[in-house]
Structure 1
Amino acid sequence: MKRIHHMIPCLLLGVMLLAGKADLYSQMAIDVEHNSWHPITKMRDSGKLKKGIPDGEWKGWYANGSQRYLRTYSHDKYERLRQEVKKHPRFIFIPLAIEAKNDRRKLDLATNANYSIASAPFEKCLHDGLYINYSEDGMMLDSGYYKYGLREGHWEEWNSTEQTRLSGAYRHGRKTGSWTATDKTGKTRSILQYNRKGELVHQKFYE
């Protein structure tokens, strides 16, 4: 009988140690550094996954080694957004969550991995921070910031077909105020005016 009583604490300790290891392995499995490569050991993309959701800065490269993109994600804000969507409308304050109450497709699009990166190594994400795309020859295609999944503040967008660069501001994912289109020499080609709904209301062209 005494031998059994002595064995019980040892068994409990063993279970606790095994549980601790299980938690450690679980943590290692869900919080990982992701890296992938092009052939001949050139890096293709790199970033951190937290519970399967990208978190922090991610970078991607073309096969020639030049940078392809920079993304900034937030796992915590992704979870906060998901929880806020479930609340009563009067207690929702995140713009994307407000829009999702009226049209769930907007939330699904904004958090879809394919909207962010083609063939992404994750299914869901939330942009929050600096966002940049580059062409294969190193030219910046667009750059700006996201906040809770929507474009916010100053942005630059390059239209390579028309050889013009657009610059202006976003508010809650919609273009707002004055946007200026300049050619590759820096000369102003047009000024576009948007209202608070993101609708183009006026455009002036220059020779």
Structure 2
Amino acid sequence: MPLTPAQTRPLEIRIGISRRPAQAGANGTAPIPENVVLCRWRALKATDGSTHHGCRLPPSLWRLVRATLGIEPDLARATVERVDDVMAEARATAKRHGQYLGSVPAEALRELLKFLGRSKRLNGILAAHAGDIRYGVTDLLLYRVRNGRALDFRFVEVKRHDETVRPDQVAELEMLRALKLTAGIVRLETPRKPAPVTARQRGANHTTVQPAAAGAAGSRRGTT
């Protein structure tokens, strides 16, 4: 059963961005919450000269990681071009077996593997995803880069203000937190509905034709 916002409040985190609702596009379509959070994170300015990076994550992220490391165990040290090639090979192999693997930007995957390798937590994540418990991969991976080094990694699940959280998403966040990784839910506020138009406002919007103009025209005709 999905968990309500009140039940999952302990899992919520703040990442320094505004939680205000995003404006709808010119065609009236509401923006995707994950993209809103990602864009706002990338736009943040840091006083230490670091830049903010991140990407959306596919549900098959950890299966993709396992498959790529099976091809290239030292993928964290590879070039971005090599990471791209390995991902393409892993996805093609999976497709031949009737499976689908998503993709992530090659640089983001390489930096994630570097970080998890340094912190020795990758094995714990892969072991968790090899078990019977179902885990829901987070929506976003966010991190900063300072002096060429990626740091401050965060796994973020994006939800609207009143949106429930699935048990598998909670399991993923709790598993990552148990490994001392920063993971949590970021909620965007719900856009306010426009106030209903009152009868007085509707009356003010209706214009009536004034007879004065017609009377004035008749007066002018009478004087000629």
Query: RCO greater where, 1 or 2, for CA within 8 Å and sep 6 or more?
Result: 2
Fold conserved between structures, TM > 0.5: no
Point out the structure with the larger helix share.
Answer: 2
Normalized against structure 2, the TM-score is what?
0.22
Point out the structure with the larger strand share.
Answer: 1
Normalized against structure 1, the TM-score is what?
0.24
Structure of larger gyration radius:
2
